[in-house]
Chain A
């Protein structure tokens, strides 16, 4: 996993609420056995019509809208536990997803893949949507060490929460498996205390 520190980029606004992981990557594209290549089918059925033509109104097809920060409506990533949703977002080039509210499994999946899930107040996000609607080329900065989000045209930055463990993993590019593997002896001692498994 690549270490994350500061990400500065233009933003992609997606104000839809309750975006489920079936929309992020439909099940029929989950047949691959590797982590790569899912970005082509990111938001497939919103992005392309049934015959494969790009849907002009969808944000990823709009000229002048691009960037590695996705700003989404509340309850992003609900539904299926498929980590393919996080892989698809990352594979497409997103490094950060901002929402006022993330589904639990998605949030874990994102952080486990170095995709930073940044939770900000709903009212603040609505201001971001309005600003980006007027000027899609505004740049935002997400700074992990100080846990700050800021965007051009929005006066005050917003701070976001992330637990210490996850933060230090992301800053160093370590994953949870490395952490757990270093605790093997402790896990064995725990097993020895249990009568039945």
Chain B
């Protein structure tokens, strides 16, 4: 008999019923909501005259549309303020827990779920945000949904969903100096393209992945959607259990032992079958940057922009030419943050590199902690001092310049080396030119003012 994949095990446990030649009714354990993709869903409930079916399984925070300075003051932008206020009112009316602005747990939804221990192995987790795949790092089936599906979950704690195909991505071997998990995922995306995993759920495995910290695993799973995947997950192991143990909402005492026992069963059976398998070697991976306008358009930092008929529009937007090297190119903005790279480990890495150094005068360097807890921890460890002495601005938690929605934007035509996840046209503001990279590459670039191979300065 064919074995089950990790994904099968978790998915199958959550199927309430199946429709012939149609989707499954999938039960959802945890539902995260934020201010941008939830208001229309709550209105839908009101129109139907129904409440939230299981309010304790939904957790709300404000992240996309919040400023990253002066969070104690009213939000200046009227529409943003109204949207955040609407979330507060909806949560009050429907009995949903809200970690809003000013709350000690507030932060980017995909940072706070894991750090509070809300995200756990074997769960189904959804949110009206495509980067929900982040939570897959814990062995959860986690994926982004639209607002109509947010309403489905609020109304019934279920979502109608077709079971995707399965893809295995294996990475083996020792990573080189200065190469981070962000480089791994940018490398994979450059190999299989921005649509290479559409219709699939990915399991990442191999010796390289197993050696990674939980923060690094989250960075990888986070960007599964950038290859079109429905989600990405990693089998839970000791690193997962160590990370979760003692966190606010993780099981405690006897419950912890019972939970851990069941989590230890979450792995792909040896004879489990995948629809697609990709294998990569860690030694082939170097620090990566993107040159184009989707995350699959990436290359080694010392590479040259490839020539391709598919690049023409992207290169025109980016102001680059095929055959050009980006190393040494002057940039004026460095953004360190987003649900991809704003966790405490990311801030520690950045601080370790910039300690005793100064950012280049031509660069504006912003560091946005992923949550209030990350911010607090950073201050506790003195990282704030190190960053500030190096000329980096440590701001307050939120999605910030990742998506050009709040006040933090990159001016038209200017380049930003960014630790976020998308380099689409206008993603960081109209006309902004985004170059995706790891936190170390971003920090090194801020120090020299030019796109820099971090291996040359460590």
List residues of A whose CB falls within 8 A of some B CB.
16-18, 20, 22-23, 26-28, 30-35, 45, 50, 74-75, 78-83, 86, 101, 103-105, 108-109, 112-113, 163-166, 175-177, 179-181, 183-184, 186-187, 190-191, 196-197
Contact with A along B184-213 (1 / 0, CB 8 A): 000000000011001100000000000000
Task: Report chain B residues within 8 Å CB of A74.
Answer: 195
Task: Report chain B residues within 8 Å CB of A17.
Answer: 310
List residues of B whose CB falls within 8 A of some A CB.
16-17, 19-23, 25, 27, 29, 36-37, 39-40, 43-44, 48, 50, 53, 57, 64-65, 77, 79-80, 82-83, 86, 128-130, 132, 144-149, 151-152, 155-158, 160-162, 164, 194-195, 198-199, 225, 228, 230, 251, 255, 258-259, 294, 310, 313, 403-405, 412, 422, 424-427, 430-431
Cross-chain contact A23 with B425 (CB below 8 angstroms): yes
Considering the chains assembled together, what is the distance between the CA atoms of A35 and B313 in angstroms? 32
Task: Report chain A residues within 8 Å CB of B160.
Answer: 165, 176, 179-180
Known contacts A50-B412, A103-B228; A79 and B424 CB within 8 A of each other: yes
Partner of B17, one of A81, A83, A186: A186
Cross-chain contact A26 with B148 (CB below 8 angstroms): no
Cross-chain contact A18 with B144 (CB below 8 angstroms): no
Task: List 28 interface pairs A-B (beta carbons < 8 Å), by A numbering.
Answer: A22-B403, A22-B427, A26-B430, A27-B403, A27-B405, A31-B36, A31-B83, A33-B39, A33-B86, A35-B40, A75-B195, A75-B198, A80-B129, A83-B147, A104-B228, A104-B230, A108-B161, A163-B21, A163-B22, A163-B162, A179-B160, A183-B25, A183-B158, A186-B16, A187-B27, A190-B27, A191-B157, A196-B258
Known contacts A22-B426, A187-B157; A163 and B23 CB within 8 A of each other: yes
Cross-chain contact A183 with B16 (CB below 8 angstroms): yes
Partner of B128, one of A18, A81, A176, A181: A81
Most buried by B among A34, A104, A179, A196: A104
Considering the chains assembled together, what is the distance between the CA atoms of A187 and B225 in angstroms? 29
Task: Report chain A residues within 8 Å CB of B53.
Answer: 184, 187
Known contacts A81-B146, A101-B198, A104-B164; A177 and B313 CB within 8 A of each other: no
Partner of A31, one of B80, B132, B147: B80
Cross-chain contact B19 with A165 (CB below 8 angstroms): yes
Task: Report chain A residues within 8 Å CB of B20.
Answer: 164
Known contacts A75-B198, A81-B145; A187 and B228 CB within 8 A of each other: no
Besides A20-B294, A163-B21, A163-B162, 19 more A-B contacts (Cβ < 8 Å) are: A18-B294, A22-B425, A28-B404, A31-B405, A33-B82, A34-B43, A78-B294, A79-B130, A80-B130, A80-B403, A81-B132, A108-B161, A109-B148, A164-B19, A165-B160, A166-B23, A181-B48, A187-B27, A196-B259
Task: Report chain A residues within 8 Å CB of B37.
Answer: 81-83
Cross-chain contact A164 with B155 (CB below 8 angstroms): no
Task: Report chain A residues within 8 Å CB of B44.
Answer: 177
Most buried by B among A86, A105, A113: A105
Cross-chain contact A45 with B426 (CB below 8 angstroms): yes
Task: Report chain A residues within 8 Å CB of B403.
Answer: 22, 27, 80
Partner of B148, one of A79, A175, A184: A175
